[in-house]
Amino acid sequence: GAREDYRQIIEEFNDFIKLYEMALLELQSDIEIIELEWQTRYEYSPFEHIKTRMKTPQSLHKKIERKGVPFTIEGIRDNIFDIVGLRIVTSFEDDVYKIYELLKGRNDLKIKRVKDYIKNPKPSGYKSLHLIVETELILSEGIRWVPAEIQIRTLAMDFFASTEHKLQYKYNTKELSQEMKDELFEVAQASSQLDEKMTKVRNTILID
Ligand code: 0O2
């Protein structure tokens, strides 16, 4: 009956999402181990902090609608690659690329797509390096490769992105006036200048 069908759909959906939850755990521990290794091996670690999140069902639904694909397991599996999200925040801009190189060398990670919003910032001024990856998940039934998005950015880029995201949310997206957008863009430029200045200071210290 309809009730049985409904129950089956929910069960299948739960199993499907569980795979992503497992991938999040896996990816998080992989990154934390890299971070710990750096801290113990070298005096300096490029990691400032790490944050993880699972996409909320609301956000997932919104994105599916925006993309115009069906809200089904297949629709989600084939079109949404950021159900698992991991953000790595660094101190300096070149640390972003240092971490990227490090991830590139791993056998348990496939880098499927790179979106470099540091070299090509978004119109908002947003900067970040986005990697669409697949992480290896070893299950009793075999190996699964599960998609995830890794965002790598500096503290200054993160300050801009997190604060601007909050404002967008507060004012319910497209409501931001041009004046506000311009002001935010200036904040993004100022954040970039902070990164440049910090790098200069560090380079001076390294040379001295
Ligand atoms: P959440 O989950 O709340 O962070 P695509 O799949 O490539 O067609 P998508 O996913 O929009 O399109 O690609 P993109 O732009 O590479 O990644 C979107 C994510 O980047 C956003 O997640 C934000 O986390 C971040 N982002 C992109 N542009 C901006 C921006 O202008 N300001 C801020 N603050 N963040 C930005 P979501 O989808 O918003 O969801």
Distance from Cα 9 to the centre of ligand 1, integer Å: 29
> Is a pLDDT exceeding 80 seen at residue 174?
no
Distance from Cα 56 to the centre of ligand 1, integer Å: 14
Q: Are 73 and 8 in contact (CB under 8 A)?
A: no
- For 88-97, the pLDDT digits (tens) are 999 999 999 9
pLDDT for res 173: 55
Tell me what percent of the residues of the chain surpass a pLDDT of 90: 80
Q: Are 61 and 84 in contact (CB under 8 A)?
A: no
Distance from Cα 30 to the centre of ligand 1, integer Å: 23
Enzyme catalytic residues: 149
pLDDT for res 2: 83
Evaluate whether the domain defined by 2-156 bears CATH number 3.30.460.10: yes
Q: What is the mean pLDDT of residues 148-173?
A: 90
Q: Return the residue whose CA atom lies nearest to atom 2 of ligand 1.
A: 55
- For 115-159, the pLDDT digits (tens) are 999 999 999 999 999 999 999 999 999 999 999 999 999 999 999
pLDDT for res 5: 87
Tell me what percent of the residues of the chain surpass a pLDDT of 70: 98
Cβ count within 10 A of residue 60: 17
CB under 6 Å to ligand 1: residues?
55, 59, 82, 115, 122, 124, 126, 130, 161, 164-165
Give pTM, 2 decimals.
0.94
Q: In terms of C-beta distances under 8 Å and separation of at least 24 residues, what long-range contacts does 67-74 make, across chains too?
A: 73/12, 73/13, 73/16
134-147 per-residue burial string, b: 16 or more CB within 10 A, e: under 16? bbbbeeeeeeeebb
| Lowest mean pLDDT segment, chosen from 100-114, 139-153, 157-171 | 157-171
Distance from Cα 137 to the centre of ligand 1, integer Å: 25
Q: Are 185 and 152 in contact (CB under 8 A)?
A: no
Which residues does 30 contact at the CB level (< 8 Å), separation at least 6? Answer: 106, 108, 109, 135
* Domain ranges across the chain: 2-156
Q: ipTM greater than 0.90, yes or no?
A: yes
pLDDT for res 44: 81
Which atom belonging to ligand 1 lies closest to the Cα atom of 122?
31
Q: Return the residue whose CA atom lies nearest to atom 29 of ligand 1.
A: 126
Which atom belonging to ligand 1 lies closest to the Cα atom of 55?
2
Confidence of residue 42 (pLDDT cuts 50, 70, 90): confident
Which atom belonging to ligand 1 lies closest to the Cα atom of 63?
38
